[in-house]
Amino acid sequence: MKKQTFWGGVHPEYNKQPASEAAIQILPAPEQLVVPLQQHVGAPAQALVKKGDEVLAGQRIGEAQGFVSAHVHAPVSGSVAAVEPRPHPSGKQILSVIIDNDGQDRWAPLESHLDPVQLSRDQIKEAVTAAGIVGMGGAGFPTHVKLAPPNQAAIDFFILNGSECEPYLTADHRMMVEYAEDVALGTRLLAKACGAKRVVIGIETNKMDAMQALRKHAGNIEIVPLAVKYPQGGEKQLIKAITGREVPSNGLPHECGVIVQNVGTVLAAAQAVRDGRPSTHRVVTVAGAGVQSPGNFLVAIGTSFQQVIDAAGGTKGTIGKVLSGGPMTGDAQITTEVPVVKATSGILVLSEEQCVLPDPMPCIKCARCADVCPTYLLPMRIERAAILGRWDESEEYGAMDCIECGCCSYICPSKRYLLHYIRLAKNQIATVKQTQSN
Ligand code: SF4
Ligand code: SF4
Protein backbone atom coordinates (compact mmCIF):
# COMPACT_ATOMS: atom_id res chain seq x y z
CA MET A 1 0.00 0.00 0.00
CA LYS A 2 1.47 3.37 -1.05
CA LYS A 3 1.56 5.75 1.92
CA GLN A 4 1.85 9.49 1.53
CA THR A 5 3.73 11.65 4.01
CA PHE A 6 5.78 14.83 4.63
CA TRP A 7 9.42 15.69 5.27
CA GLY A 8 10.82 15.39 8.83
CA GLY A 9 8.85 14.21 11.86
CA VAL A 10 9.45 11.58 14.53
CA HIS A 11 8.17 8.18 15.62
CA PRO A 12 7.29 8.40 19.32
CA GLU A 13 5.76 5.49 21.26
CA TYR A 14 2.12 5.73 20.23
CA ASN A 15 0.59 3.95 23.25
CA LYS A 16 -2.82 3.87 21.52
CA GLN A 17 -3.82 0.51 22.99
CA PRO A 18 -5.97 -0.44 24.85
CA ALA A 19 -8.12 2.71 24.28
CA SER A 20 -8.10 2.31 20.48
CA GLU A 21 -9.86 -1.05 20.79
CA ALA A 22 -12.44 -0.01 23.40
CA ALA A 23 -15.90 1.05 22.17
CA ILE A 24 -17.02 4.57 23.09
CA GLN A 25 -18.90 4.57 26.43
CA ILE A 26 -21.68 7.05 27.09
CA LEU A 27 -21.06 8.87 30.36
CA PRO A 28 -24.26 10.12 32.06
CA ALA A 29 -24.17 13.89 32.61
CA PRO A 30 -23.21 14.85 36.19
CA GLU A 31 -25.46 16.62 38.70
CA GLN A 32 -23.80 19.96 38.02
CA LEU A 33 -22.05 21.17 34.85
CA VAL A 34 -19.70 24.11 34.33
CA VAL A 35 -20.17 25.42 30.77
CA PRO A 36 -17.60 28.11 29.86
CA LEU A 37 -18.69 30.98 27.64
CA GLN A 38 -15.31 30.82 25.93
CA GLN A 39 -14.49 27.46 24.39
CA HIS A 40 -13.16 28.84 21.14
CA VAL A 41 -10.64 31.17 19.56
CA GLY A 42 -12.07 34.71 19.38
CA ALA A 43 -14.44 36.79 21.48
CA PRO A 44 -16.20 35.07 24.41
CA ALA A 45 -19.93 34.48 24.04
CA GLN A 46 -22.23 36.71 26.10
CA ALA A 47 -24.45 35.01 28.69
CA LEU A 48 -28.14 34.83 27.74
CA VAL A 49 -29.18 33.39 31.12
CA LYS A 50 -28.81 34.38 34.77
CA LYS A 51 -28.93 32.67 38.14
CA GLY A 52 -32.31 31.00 38.74
CA ASP A 53 -33.28 30.64 35.05
CA GLU A 54 -34.62 27.30 33.83
CA VAL A 55 -32.85 25.91 30.75
CA LEU A 56 -33.57 23.12 28.27
CA ALA A 57 -30.91 20.88 26.76
CA GLY A 58 -29.79 22.37 23.45
CA GLN A 59 -30.94 25.86 24.45
CA ARG A 60 -28.58 28.68 23.49
CA ILE A 61 -27.13 30.08 26.73
CA GLY A 62 -24.29 32.14 25.24
CA GLU A 63 -24.51 34.42 22.20
CA ALA A 64 -21.46 34.70 19.90
CA GLN A 65 -19.98 38.21 19.90
CA GLY A 66 -18.92 39.07 16.37
CA PHE A 67 -17.85 36.83 13.49
CA VAL A 68 -14.88 35.16 15.21
CA SER A 69 -16.81 33.75 18.14
CA ALA A 70 -19.22 30.84 18.75
CA HIS A 71 -22.58 30.25 20.41
CA VAL A 72 -22.74 28.12 23.56
CA HIS A 73 -25.61 25.73 24.42
CA ALA A 74 -26.84 23.91 27.51
CA PRO A 75 -25.94 20.18 27.39
CA VAL A 76 -28.71 19.25 29.89
CA SER A 77 -31.99 20.61 31.20
CA GLY A 78 -32.09 22.15 34.66
CA SER A 79 -31.60 25.47 36.39
CA VAL A 80 -28.79 28.01 36.34
CA ALA A 81 -27.01 27.94 39.71
CA ALA A 82 -24.62 30.80 38.84
CA VAL A 83 -22.87 32.68 36.07
CA GLU A 84 -19.37 33.25 37.36
CA PRO A 85 -15.68 32.75 36.54
CA ARG A 86 -14.44 29.18 36.95
CA PRO A 87 -11.12 27.41 36.23
CA HIS A 88 -10.75 26.45 32.57
CA PRO A 89 -8.35 24.02 30.81
CA SER A 90 -6.51 27.05 29.38
CA GLY A 91 -5.31 27.83 32.93
CA LYS A 92 -7.45 30.99 33.09
CA GLN A 93 -10.62 31.80 35.01
CA ILE A 94 -13.40 31.99 32.40
CA LEU A 95 -16.95 33.23 32.88
CA SER A 96 -19.10 30.07 32.93
CA VAL A 97 -22.75 29.07 33.25
CA ILE A 98 -23.17 26.60 36.12
CA ILE A 99 -26.18 24.34 35.49
CA ASP A 100 -27.86 22.09 38.07
CA ASN A 101 -28.94 19.08 36.02
CA ASP A 102 -32.59 18.12 36.69
CA GLY A 103 -31.97 14.66 35.19
CA GLN A 104 -35.03 15.05 32.91
CA ASP A 105 -33.08 15.50 29.64
CA ARG A 106 -35.79 17.87 28.31
CA TRP A 107 -34.67 19.24 24.93
CA ALA A 108 -35.41 22.51 23.19
CA PRO A 109 -37.14 22.00 19.79
CA LEU A 110 -34.56 21.02 17.14
CA GLU A 111 -34.87 21.77 13.41
CA SER A 112 -33.96 18.63 11.45
CA HIS A 113 -33.50 18.04 7.69
CA LEU A 114 -34.20 14.60 6.29
CA ASP A 115 -32.04 15.16 3.20
CA PRO A 116 -29.25 17.49 4.40
CA VAL A 117 -27.04 17.12 1.31
CA GLN A 118 -29.74 18.94 -0.69
CA LEU A 119 -29.29 22.07 1.43
CA SER A 120 -27.50 25.04 -0.11
CA ARG A 121 -23.97 26.10 0.89
CA ASP A 122 -25.40 29.00 2.88
CA GLN A 123 -27.95 26.81 4.67
CA ILE A 124 -25.20 24.41 5.75
CA LYS A 125 -23.06 27.32 7.01
CA GLU A 126 -26.04 28.76 8.90
CA ALA A 127 -26.71 25.42 10.62
CA VAL A 128 -23.02 25.07 11.58
CA THR A 129 -22.96 28.63 12.95
CA ALA A 130 -26.21 28.14 14.89
CA ALA A 131 -24.84 24.94 16.46
CA GLY A 132 -21.74 26.71 17.81
CA ILE A 133 -19.34 24.23 16.22
CA VAL A 134 -15.61 24.84 16.68
CA GLY A 135 -12.53 22.83 15.70
CA MET A 136 -12.67 19.81 17.99
CA GLY A 137 -9.11 18.62 17.39
CA GLY A 138 -7.86 21.01 20.07
CA ALA A 139 -7.62 24.34 18.25
CA GLY A 140 -11.18 25.52 18.95
CA PHE A 141 -11.29 27.75 15.87
CA PRO A 142 -14.94 28.56 14.97
CA THR A 143 -15.88 26.29 12.05
CA HIS A 144 -18.10 28.83 10.28
CA VAL A 145 -15.08 31.18 10.06
CA LYS A 146 -12.96 28.46 8.45
CA LEU A 147 -15.75 27.80 5.93
CA ALA A 148 -15.73 31.45 4.83
CA PRO A 149 -12.10 32.27 3.98
CA PRO A 150 -11.20 35.97 3.53
CA ASN A 151 -11.62 37.58 0.10
CA GLN A 152 -13.76 34.60 -0.94
CA ALA A 153 -10.59 32.58 -1.59
CA ALA A 154 -11.32 29.73 -4.01
CA ILE A 155 -11.24 26.35 -2.27
CA ASP A 156 -10.86 23.28 -4.48
CA PHE A 157 -9.66 20.73 -1.91
CA PHE A 158 -11.35 19.59 1.30
CA ILE A 159 -9.40 17.26 3.58
CA LEU A 160 -10.77 15.36 6.55
CA ASN A 161 -7.89 14.91 8.96
CA GLY A 162 -8.14 11.28 10.10
CA SER A 163 -4.47 11.11 11.15
CA GLU A 164 -4.77 11.47 14.92
CA CYS A 165 -0.98 11.27 15.08
CA GLU A 166 -0.68 12.44 18.69
CA PRO A 167 0.29 9.52 21.00
CA TYR A 168 -2.39 8.09 23.33
CA LEU A 169 -5.34 9.86 21.65
CA THR A 170 -7.90 7.55 20.02
CA ALA A 171 -11.18 9.54 20.08
CA ASP A 172 -11.05 10.34 16.33
CA HIS A 173 -10.16 6.72 15.57
CA ARG A 174 -13.18 5.39 17.49
CA MET A 175 -15.52 7.99 15.95
CA MET A 176 -14.41 6.95 12.44
CA VAL A 177 -15.08 3.29 13.31
CA GLU A 178 -18.35 3.71 15.20
CA TYR A 179 -19.91 6.73 13.46
CA ALA A 180 -18.49 6.19 9.96
CA GLU A 181 -21.75 7.06 8.19
CA ASP A 182 -22.11 10.38 10.04
CA VAL A 183 -18.41 11.21 9.59
CA ALA A 184 -18.79 10.68 5.82
CA LEU A 185 -21.98 12.79 5.79
CA GLY A 186 -20.34 15.62 7.75
CA THR A 187 -17.35 15.53 5.38
CA ARG A 188 -19.67 15.86 2.37
CA LEU A 189 -21.62 18.71 3.97
CA LEU A 190 -18.60 20.80 4.95
CA ALA A 191 -16.91 20.16 1.59
CA LYS A 192 -20.08 21.42 -0.12
CA ALA A 193 -20.24 24.44 2.20
CA CYS A 194 -16.78 25.60 1.13
CA GLY A 195 -17.24 24.70 -2.56
CA ALA A 196 -14.50 22.07 -2.74
CA LYS A 197 -14.64 19.73 -5.73
CA ARG A 198 -12.07 17.25 -4.47
CA VAL A 199 -12.78 15.62 -1.11
CA VAL A 200 -10.22 13.42 0.63
CA ILE A 201 -9.99 11.61 3.95
CA GLY A 202 -6.38 11.10 5.05
CA ILE A 203 -5.88 8.25 7.54
CA GLU A 204 -2.69 6.85 9.05
CA THR A 205 -2.27 3.15 8.33
CA ASN A 206 -2.43 2.21 12.01
CA LYS A 207 -6.22 2.69 11.72
CA MET A 208 -7.14 0.11 9.08
CA ASP A 209 -10.48 -0.64 10.77
CA ALA A 210 -11.42 3.06 10.44
CA MET A 211 -10.43 2.99 6.77
CA GLN A 212 -12.62 -0.07 6.17
CA ALA A 213 -15.58 1.44 8.03
CA LEU A 214 -15.38 4.71 6.07
CA ARG A 215 -14.99 2.96 2.69
CA LYS A 216 -18.55 1.60 3.09
CA HIS A 217 -19.95 5.15 3.18
CA ALA A 218 -17.35 7.15 1.26
CA GLY A 219 -19.01 7.19 -2.20
CA ASN A 220 -16.91 9.62 -4.26
CA ILE A 221 -14.76 10.70 -1.28
CA GLU A 222 -11.16 9.54 -1.77
CA ILE A 223 -9.48 7.75 1.12
CA VAL A 224 -5.72 8.30 1.21
CA PRO A 225 -3.48 6.07 3.40
CA LEU A 226 -0.84 8.07 5.27
CA ALA A 227 2.43 6.93 6.84
CA VAL A 228 2.35 6.62 10.64
CA LYS A 229 4.51 9.55 11.67
CA TYR A 230 4.18 12.52 14.01
CA PRO A 231 2.98 15.29 13.23
CA GLN A 232 1.18 13.78 10.23
CA GLY A 233 -2.00 15.53 11.38
CA GLY A 234 -0.46 19.02 11.39
CA GLU A 235 -2.46 20.97 8.80
CA LYS A 236 0.55 22.02 6.75
CA GLN A 237 2.06 18.53 6.86
CA LEU A 238 -1.25 16.89 5.90
CA ILE A 239 -1.75 19.28 2.98
CA LYS A 240 1.79 18.66 1.74
CA ALA A 241 1.37 14.88 2.04
CA ILE A 242 -1.96 14.76 0.21
CA THR A 243 -1.85 17.59 -2.32
CA GLY A 244 1.87 18.37 -2.65
CA ARG A 245 1.01 22.03 -1.99
CA GLU A 246 2.90 24.26 0.44
CA VAL A 247 1.00 26.61 2.75
CA PRO A 248 2.91 29.94 2.52
CA SER A 249 5.16 31.01 5.40
CA ASN A 250 3.00 32.64 8.10
CA GLY A 251 -0.04 31.71 5.96
CA LEU A 252 -3.18 29.61 6.29
CA PRO A 253 -4.43 26.57 4.30
CA HIS A 254 -7.04 28.55 2.33
CA GLU A 255 -4.17 30.47 0.73
CA CYS A 256 -3.35 27.32 -1.25
CA GLY A 257 -7.00 26.42 -1.88
CA VAL A 258 -7.41 23.85 0.89
CA ILE A 259 -9.59 23.49 3.98
CA VAL A 260 -8.84 20.87 6.62
CA GLN A 261 -11.32 19.72 9.25
CA ASN A 262 -11.11 17.35 12.19
CA VAL A 263 -13.15 14.15 12.65
CA GLY A 264 -15.09 15.38 15.71
CA THR A 265 -15.90 18.60 13.88
CA VAL A 266 -17.44 16.90 10.83
CA LEU A 267 -19.37 14.54 13.10
CA ALA A 268 -20.77 17.54 14.99
CA ALA A 269 -21.59 19.19 11.64
CA ALA A 270 -23.54 16.13 10.44
CA GLN A 271 -25.57 16.08 13.64
CA ALA A 272 -26.14 19.85 13.51
CA VAL A 273 -27.25 20.03 9.86
CA ARG A 274 -29.30 16.81 9.75
CA ASP A 275 -30.69 16.72 13.31
CA GLY A 276 -30.46 20.38 14.36
CA ARG A 277 -28.34 19.32 17.36
CA PRO A 278 -26.01 21.96 18.75
CA SER A 279 -22.49 21.16 19.94
CA THR A 280 -23.15 19.99 23.52
CA HIS A 281 -21.25 16.70 23.76
CA ARG A 282 -17.98 15.26 22.53
CA VAL A 283 -15.88 12.07 22.61
CA VAL A 284 -12.86 12.29 24.93
CA THR A 285 -9.97 9.84 25.29
CA VAL A 286 -8.79 9.13 28.84
CA ALA A 287 -5.38 7.44 28.82
CA GLY A 288 -1.91 7.32 30.34
CA ALA A 289 -0.01 5.12 32.80
CA GLY A 290 -1.75 6.89 35.69
CA VAL A 291 -5.30 5.82 34.78
CA GLN A 292 -6.89 2.46 35.61
CA SER A 293 -8.90 1.68 32.46
CA PRO A 294 -8.05 3.84 29.43
CA GLY A 295 -10.95 4.36 27.05
CA ASN A 296 -13.12 6.80 25.13
CA PHE A 297 -16.20 8.47 26.57
CA LEU A 298 -19.02 10.48 25.06
CA VAL A 299 -19.45 13.25 27.62
CA ALA A 300 -21.51 16.39 28.08
CA ILE A 301 -19.55 19.63 27.75
CA GLY A 302 -19.11 20.96 31.30
CA THR A 303 -18.37 17.55 32.88
CA SER A 304 -15.22 17.87 35.00
CA PHE A 305 -11.95 16.15 34.08
CA GLN A 306 -12.11 14.39 37.46
CA GLN A 307 -15.54 12.90 36.65
CA VAL A 308 -14.24 11.56 33.33
CA ILE A 309 -11.11 10.13 35.00
CA ASP A 310 -13.37 8.47 37.62
CA ALA A 311 -15.41 6.94 34.79
CA ALA A 312 -12.16 5.35 33.57
CA GLY A 313 -11.73 3.66 36.94
CA GLY A 314 -9.83 6.51 38.58
CA THR A 315 -6.09 6.95 38.92
CA LYS A 316 -3.39 4.47 39.89
CA GLY A 317 0.05 5.02 41.46
CA THR A 318 1.55 8.46 41.96
CA ILE A 319 0.41 10.97 39.37
CA GLY A 320 2.98 13.21 37.73
CA LYS A 321 0.79 15.37 35.51
CA VAL A 322 -2.67 15.60 34.00
CA LEU A 323 -2.77 17.06 30.50
CA SER A 324 -5.57 18.33 28.31
CA GLY A 325 -4.70 16.77 24.95
CA GLY A 326 -1.79 14.52 24.07
CA PRO A 327 1.80 14.38 25.35
CA MET A 328 3.34 16.32 22.44
CA THR A 329 1.07 19.36 22.34
CA GLY A 330 -1.22 19.07 25.37
CA ASP A 331 -1.50 21.56 28.23
CA ALA A 332 -0.63 20.57 31.83
CA GLN A 333 -3.51 21.21 34.25
CA ILE A 334 -3.24 22.67 37.72
CA THR A 335 -6.48 21.01 38.82
CA THR A 336 -8.77 18.25 37.54
CA GLU A 337 -11.76 20.43 38.50
CA VAL A 338 -11.82 21.99 35.03
CA PRO A 339 -14.59 21.21 32.55
CA VAL A 340 -14.44 19.28 29.31
CA VAL A 341 -14.86 21.89 26.56
CA LYS A 342 -15.56 21.52 22.84
CA ALA A 343 -11.84 21.30 22.06
CA THR A 344 -10.94 18.69 24.73
CA SER A 345 -9.72 15.77 22.63
CA GLY A 346 -8.19 13.85 25.52
CA ILE A 347 -7.31 13.75 29.19
CA LEU A 348 -3.88 12.26 29.71
CA VAL A 349 -2.92 11.08 33.20
CA LEU A 350 0.84 10.56 33.37
CA SER A 351 2.66 8.72 36.15
CA GLU A 352 5.43 10.38 38.15
CA GLU A 353 8.10 8.37 36.28
CA GLN A 354 6.75 9.54 32.91
CA CYS A 355 7.20 13.16 33.94
CA VAL A 356 10.85 13.15 34.99
CA LEU A 357 12.66 15.84 32.96
CA PRO A 358 16.42 15.37 32.65
CA ASP A 359 18.61 18.47 33.06
CA PRO A 360 19.53 19.96 29.67
CA MET A 361 23.12 19.43 28.50
CA PRO A 362 25.18 21.64 26.15
CA CYS A 363 24.27 21.48 22.47
CA ILE A 364 26.56 19.06 20.62
CA LYS A 365 25.65 20.54 17.20
CA CYS A 366 24.38 17.22 15.88
CA ALA A 367 21.57 18.94 13.86
CA ARG A 368 19.06 16.21 14.68
CA CYS A 369 16.54 18.90 15.69
CA ALA A 370 16.82 20.41 12.21
CA ASP A 371 16.56 16.98 10.57
CA VAL A 372 13.15 16.30 12.13
CA CYS A 373 11.65 19.81 11.97
CA PRO A 374 8.67 19.48 9.58
CA THR A 375 8.77 23.20 8.82
CA TYR A 376 12.45 23.18 7.78
CA LEU A 377 13.62 25.40 10.66
CA LEU A 378 16.90 25.41 12.59
CA PRO A 379 15.51 25.01 16.12
CA MET A 380 18.96 25.22 17.79
CA ARG A 381 19.52 28.67 16.21
CA ILE A 382 16.13 30.01 17.31
CA GLU A 383 16.70 28.64 20.82
CA ARG A 384 20.16 30.26 21.01
CA ALA A 385 18.79 33.65 19.88
CA ALA A 386 15.93 33.37 22.41
CA ILE A 387 18.28 32.54 25.29
CA LEU A 388 20.21 35.72 24.42
CA GLY A 389 16.98 37.73 24.12
CA ARG A 390 17.64 38.49 20.46
CA TRP A 391 14.03 38.41 19.28
CA ASP A 392 14.81 39.93 15.84
CA GLU A 393 17.27 37.17 15.18
CA SER A 394 14.86 34.42 16.26
CA GLU A 395 12.26 35.92 13.91
CA GLU A 396 14.79 35.93 11.06
CA TYR A 397 15.31 32.23 11.70
CA GLY A 398 11.58 31.70 11.20
CA ALA A 399 10.33 31.30 14.78
CA MET A 400 6.81 32.35 13.76
CA ASP A 401 6.61 29.39 11.33
CA CYS A 402 7.11 26.93 14.20
CA ILE A 403 3.97 24.78 14.57
CA GLU A 404 4.98 23.84 18.15
CA CYS A 405 4.96 20.13 17.36
CA GLY A 406 7.79 19.43 19.83
CA CYS A 407 9.71 17.10 17.48
CA CYS A 408 12.96 19.03 18.08
CA SER A 409 12.75 18.76 21.88
CA TYR A 410 11.74 15.11 21.59
CA ILE A 411 14.73 14.11 19.45
CA CYS A 412 17.45 16.27 21.08
CA PRO A 413 20.08 13.99 22.69
CA SER A 414 21.08 16.86 25.01
CA LYS A 415 17.45 17.19 26.15
CA ARG A 416 17.45 20.92 25.55
CA TYR A 417 14.23 22.89 26.11
CA LEU A 418 14.03 23.90 22.47
CA LEU A 419 10.27 24.31 22.11
CA HIS A 420 10.09 26.16 25.43
CA TYR A 421 12.50 28.85 24.15
CA ILE A 422 10.90 28.94 20.69
CA ARG A 423 7.50 29.62 22.30
CA LEU A 424 9.10 32.35 24.40
CA ALA A 425 10.53 33.90 21.23
CA LYS A 426 7.14 33.75 19.48
CA ASN A 427 5.43 35.44 22.41
CA GLN A 428 8.07 38.16 22.57
CA ILE A 429 7.97 38.78 18.80
CA ALA A 430 4.15 39.08 18.95
CA THR A 431 4.35 41.42 21.97
CA VAL A 432 6.91 43.69 20.25
CA LYS A 433 4.72 43.86 17.11
CA GLN A 434 1.62 44.62 19.18
CA THR A 435 3.44 47.41 21.04
CA GLN A 436 4.71 48.89 17.76
CA SER A 437 1.19 48.90 16.24
CA ASN A 438 -0.36 50.70 19.25
S1 SF4 B 1 11.02 24.19 15.65
FE2 SF4 B 1 8.81 24.09 15.93
S3 SF4 B 1 8.05 23.11 14.08
FE4 SF4 B 1 10.25 22.68 14.18
S5 SF4 B 1 10.40 20.72 15.26
FE6 SF4 B 1 10.59 22.33 16.82
S7 SF4 B 1 8.50 22.58 17.59
FE8 SF4 B 1 8.32 21.50 15.61
S1 SF4 C 1 19.39 18.20 18.56
FE2 SF4 C 1 20.00 19.20 20.47
S3 SF4 C 1 22.18 18.82 20.58
FE4 SF4 C 1 21.59 18.40 18.45
S5 SF4 C 1 21.90 20.37 17.38
FE6 SF4 C 1 19.78 20.34 18.08
S7 SF4 C 1 19.85 21.40 20.06
FE8 SF4 C 1 21.95 20.80 19.60
Task: Write out pLDDT tens, residues 121-177.
Answer: 999 999 999 999 999 987 789 999 999 888 777 899 999 999 999 999 999 999 999
Quickly state the pLDDT bin for 297 (edges 50, 70, 90): very high
**To the nearest whole number, what is the mean pLDDT of the chain?**
95
Question: In the predicted model, is pLDDT for residue 249 greater than 90?
Answer: no
Q: Is the distance from CB of 187 to CB of 266 less than 8 angstroms?
A: yes
Query: CA-CA distance, 273 to 119, in Å (whole number)?
Result: 9
Over residues 15-24, the mean pLDDT reads 93
Look at residue 150 in the predicted model and tell me its pLDDT: 80
How large is the average pLDDT for residues 213-227?
A: 95
Asked if 265 and 142 count as a contact pair (C-beta separation under 8 A), the reply is no
- Look at residue 1 in the predicted model and tell me its pLDDT: 65
Tell me how far CA of residue 415 lies from CA of 323, 358, 381, in angstroms.
21, 7, 15
Mutation choice for ligand 2 from 384, 409, 412, CB with most ligand atoms inside 8 A:
412
Instruction: Decide if pLDDT at 7 tops 90.
Output: no
Domain segments of the chain: what residues?
1-29+112-356, 368-437
Cα(354)–Cα(210) distance, rounded to whole angstroms? 30
Q: Which residues line ligand 1 (CB under 6 A)?
A: 372-375, 377, 379, 402-408, 418-419, 422
Count of alpha carbons within 13 angstroms of residue 44, beta-carbon side: 14
Crossing angle for the helix pair 180-194 and 263-275, to the nearest 10 degrees: 80
Is residue 2 pLDDT above 80, yes or no?
Answer: no
Q: Is the pLDDT of residue 68 over 70?
A: yes
Q: Any long-range contacts for 396-404 (C-beta under 8 Å, 24+ apart)?
A: 398/249, 399/425, 399/426, 399/429, 400/250, 400/426, 400/429, 401/249, 401/250, 401/375, 401/377, 402/375, 402/377, 402/426, 403/231, 403/234, 403/236, 403/374, 403/375, 404/329
For residue 250, what pLDDT is reported? 82
Residue 434 pLDDT: 84
Question: Residue 191 above 70 pLDDT?
Answer: yes
In this prediction, residues 393-408 reach a mean pLDDT of: 95
The model's pLDDT over 252-296, given as tens digits with 9 standing for 90+, comes to 899 999 999 999 999 999 999 999 999 999 999 999 999 999 999
Report the residue among 419, 424, 427, 429 best suited for mutation to probe ligand 1: largest number of ligand atoms under 8 A from its CB. 419
What pLDDT is stored for residue 138 in this prediction? 79
Nearest Cα to 161, choosing from 266, 40, 298?
Answer: 266
Assigned architecture for domain 1-29+112-356: 3-Layer(aba) Sandwich (3.40)
Give the residue, out of 376, 403, 423, with the most ligand 1 atoms within 8 A of its beta carbon, to mutate for a pocket test: 403
Sequence-ordered list of residues with C-beta below 8 angstroms from that of 61, at least 6 positions apart, any chain:
35, 47, 48, 49, 55, 72, 73, 74, 80, 97
Calculate mean pLDDT across residues 404-433: 95
Residue having the nearest C-alpha atom to atom 4 of ligand 1: 373
Q: How many CB atoms are closer than 10 A to CB 248?
A: 11
| Closest ligand 1 atom, residue 231 Cα | 8
pLDDT score, position 47: 98
Cα 12 to averaged position of ligand 2 atoms, centre (Å): 18
**Residue bearing the bigger pLDDT, 41 or 73:** 73
pTM here? 0.94
Amino acid identity at 436: Q
Question: pLDDT (tens digit, 9 = 90+) per residue, 339-353?
Answer: 999 999 999 999 999
Q: To the nearest whole percent, how much of the chain has pLDDT over 90?
A: 90
Nearest listed ligand to the Cα of residue 379: 1
Written as one string, the DSSP assignment of 26-44 is: EPPP-SEEEEES--SSSSP
What is the structure's pLDDT at 78?
A: 98
Ligand 1 atom nearest the C-alpha of 419 is 7
User: Which ligand has its closest atom nearest to the C-alpha of 411?
Assistant: 2
Backbone angles phi, psi at 33, to 5 degrees: -120, 145
